[in-house]
């Protein structure tokens, strides 16, 4: 009778060459993951539901055993033979592109839903009044862009979950990370909600109403990223599809029939965001853990989150500050200018988010090729090549289609000819911006997957500085000559 060993050494690929996209490799060293005490992970104090793996989940090909050893735990992972061929990174270029499309298809729907809600608001309000359409601009900055600052927690969640999967950690550990981050973001949301109450004196109706949904929005983002980190894009898509339908129906009823204007659009969006947040968390509950349980994050957990999220926070702050600067100057250029800017910036967001799934694909699939037991850097380069090819093709398509909408069908958003004329003056930089964005997002996602966060934060800070300088110079030149279009001064900075 042959004894079965209790521990199986991890399988490793002997071909561990340095990954090099340039002459000096970005990912030549393997950064350590933040330490989370594993013995504390399965303790009863956290009221954590242990992993419950079903056949439809990503970790079903692992046969995991836990043995007590010196008061702790050791992992015994056995990988079934032939599973290497199922990995995204081990396929040829064409098969790899098809697998990317299978993942990015549903993921695209996730990213479209948010801008689609704002675009619906813009179209409904624009048909009623150019003045209210112009008023949507500052409100959008306060509601969407301010909450966008907390997107760094979403990026950190996706990054940590995908990396943990790549290193063959227990599913319980992955769920613990995402669960902790949800608790942390709920606390951030509460702080944001108090700041909304402080601004009541300014009578910002849209900001006041939509701000009520901030806790649900932020927690929903983290829950969505946890699902995407586990390569599940269908569950969150169902939640956001229902939320978008609620928002569309609410806009039509409250704005078109009942005449509530901006306030009605804000209420419809707020309700849809709360519904989406609840359904996102419920989707994680169905994966085997209690997402509604309350627990206070420890210092180790906060330190782990901060390690990844701090540089990403700088990146998000740079983006938010730049677009806030743009809307600030646009608001001071007159009603027609800011109304045209509102239409163009909302359509811009609607089309650029089509490239976000490429960034998410890199963050979900690249870690297993950079850090996992099946590490293969040549396949990582092939995956990056596939993402760039898809991004270039997608960018060209988005540039053509996205520019054609405000050019040929401007009456969808407004019937005011002066607003339409301002929109048509920025079509050239608008096309360039749409064309280059998907490929740029592919590279950004790869850098995030490789934990090259310092470079990403420095890059975005530099882009913000350069864009702000260009914008200020153009505004200064405009004061010297009236030949420059008011809205083109703003849109050039976007491109």
> What digits encode the pLDDT tens for the residues 188-198?
444 444 443 43
Q: Report the share of the chain in percent with pLDDT over 90.
A: 4
Q: Where are the domains of the chain?
A: 38-80, 91-494
Max avg pLDDT among 49-63, 176-190, 322-336: 322-336
Q: Residue 5: is its pLDDT beyond 90?
A: no
Across 354-358, 432-436, 440-444, least confident range: 354-358
> At which residue do the structure tokens 């083109």 appear?
488
Whether residue 386 has pLDDT greater than 80:
yes
Of the listed ranges 29-38, 177-186, 283-292, the one predicted with least confidence:
29-38
Choose the most confident range, by mean pLDDT, from 31-35, 268-272, 403-407, 474-478: 403-407
pLDDT of residue 9: 42
Q: pLDDT band for position 400 (50/70/90)?
A: very high
Mean pLDDT to the nearest integer, 375-402: 88
Winning range, highest mean pLDDT, from 199-208, 330-339, 441-450? 441-450
Over residues 299-323, mean pLDDT: 76
Q: Is the pLDDT of residue 91 over 50?
A: yes
The string of pLDDT tens digits covering residues 58-74 is 333 333 333 333 333 33
Q: What is the pLDDT of residue 139?
A: 61
The pLDDT of residue 37 is 36
Whether pLDDT at 418 is above 50: yes
pLDDT attached to residue 395: 92
Residue 335 has pLDDT above 50, yes or no: yes
147 or 419: which leads in pLDDT: 419
Long-range CB contacts for residues 12-19, cutoff 8 Å, separation at least 24: 12/373, 12/375, 13/373, 13/374, 13/375, 13/376, 15/376, 16/375, 16/377, 17/377, 17/378, 18/377, 19/370, 19/377, 19/380, 19/381, 19/450
Phi (first) and psi of residue 64, to 5 degrees: -105, 135
Q: What is the pLDDT of residues 130-146, one digit of tens each?
A: 666 666 666 666 666 66
pLDDT cut 70: percent of the chain above it: 55
CA 483 remoteness from chain centre: 39
| Torsion angle defined by CA atoms of residues 393, 443, 159 and 234, in that order, rounded to the nearest 10 degrees | 0
pLDDT tens-digit readout, 221-251: 777 777 776 767 777 778 878 888 888 888 8
What's the pLDDT at 399?
Answer: 92
The answer to whether 107 and 355 are in contact (CB under 8 A) is no
Instruction: Of 280-294, 316-330, 471-485, give the lowest mean pLDDT range.
Output: 471-485
Q: Is the pTM of this model over 0.75?
A: no
């Amino acid at each position: 009778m042959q004894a079965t060993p209790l521990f199986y050494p991890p399988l490793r690929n002997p071909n561990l060459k340095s990954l090099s996209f340039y002459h000096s490799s970005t990912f030549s060293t393997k950064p350590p993951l933040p330490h989370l005490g594993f013995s504390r992970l399965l303790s009863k104090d956290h009221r954590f539901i242990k992993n419950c793996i079903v056949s439809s989940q990503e970790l079903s090909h692992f046969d995991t055993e836990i043995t007590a050893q010196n008061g702790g735990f050791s992992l015994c992972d056995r990988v079934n033979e032939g599973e290497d061929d199922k990995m995204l990174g081990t396929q040829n270029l064409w098969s790899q592109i098809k697998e990317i499309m299978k993942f990015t298809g549903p993921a695209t729907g996730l990213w479209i839903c948010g801008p689609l809600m704002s675009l619906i608001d813009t179209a409904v309000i624009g048909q009623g009044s150019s003045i209210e359409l112009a008023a949507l601009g500052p409100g959008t900055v306060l509601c969407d862009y301010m909450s966008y600052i907390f997107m760094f927690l979403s990026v950190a969640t996706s990054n940590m979950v995908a990396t943990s999967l790549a290193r063959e950690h227990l599913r319980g550990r992955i769920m613990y990370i995402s669960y902790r981050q949800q608790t942390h973001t709920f606390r951030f949301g509460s702080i944001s909600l108090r700041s909304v109450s402080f601004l009541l004196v300014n009578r910002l109706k849209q900001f006041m109403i939509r701000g009520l949904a901030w806790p649900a929005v932020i927690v929903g983002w983290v829950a969505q990223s946890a699902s995407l980190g586990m390569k599940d894009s269908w569950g969150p898509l169902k939640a956001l599809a229902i939320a978008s339908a609620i928002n569309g129906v609410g806009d039509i009823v409250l704005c078109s029939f009942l005449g509530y204007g901006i306030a009605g659009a804000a209420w419809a969006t707020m309700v849809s965001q709360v519904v989406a947040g609840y359904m996102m968390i419920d989707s994680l509950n169905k994966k085997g853990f209690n997402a509604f349980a309350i627990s206070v994050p420890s210092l180790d957990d906060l330190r782990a989150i901060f390690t990844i999220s701090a540089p990403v926070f700088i990146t998000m702050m740079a983006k938010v500050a730049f677009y806030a600067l743009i809307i600030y100057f646009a608001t001071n250029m007159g009603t027609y200018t800011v109304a045209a800017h509102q239409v163009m910036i909302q359509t811009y967001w609607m089309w650029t988010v089509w490239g976000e799934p490429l960034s998410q694909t890199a963050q979900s699939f690249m870690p297993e090729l950079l850090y996992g037991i099946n590490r293969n850097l040549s396949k990582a380069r092939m995956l990056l090549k596939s993402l760039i090819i898809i991004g270039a093709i997608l960018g060209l398509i988005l540039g053509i289609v996205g520019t054609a909408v405000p050019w040929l069908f401007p009456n969808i958003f407004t019937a005011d000819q002066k607003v339409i004329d301002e929109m048509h003056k920025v079509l050239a930089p608008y096309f360039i911006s749409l064309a280059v964005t998907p490929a740029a997002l592919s590279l950004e996602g790869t850098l995030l997957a490789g934990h090259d966060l310092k470079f990403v934060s420095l890059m975005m800070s530099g882009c913000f500085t350069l864009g702000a300088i260009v914008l200020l110079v153009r505004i200064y030149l405009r004061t010297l000559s009236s030949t420059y279009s008011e809205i083109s001064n703003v849109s050039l900075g976007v491109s």
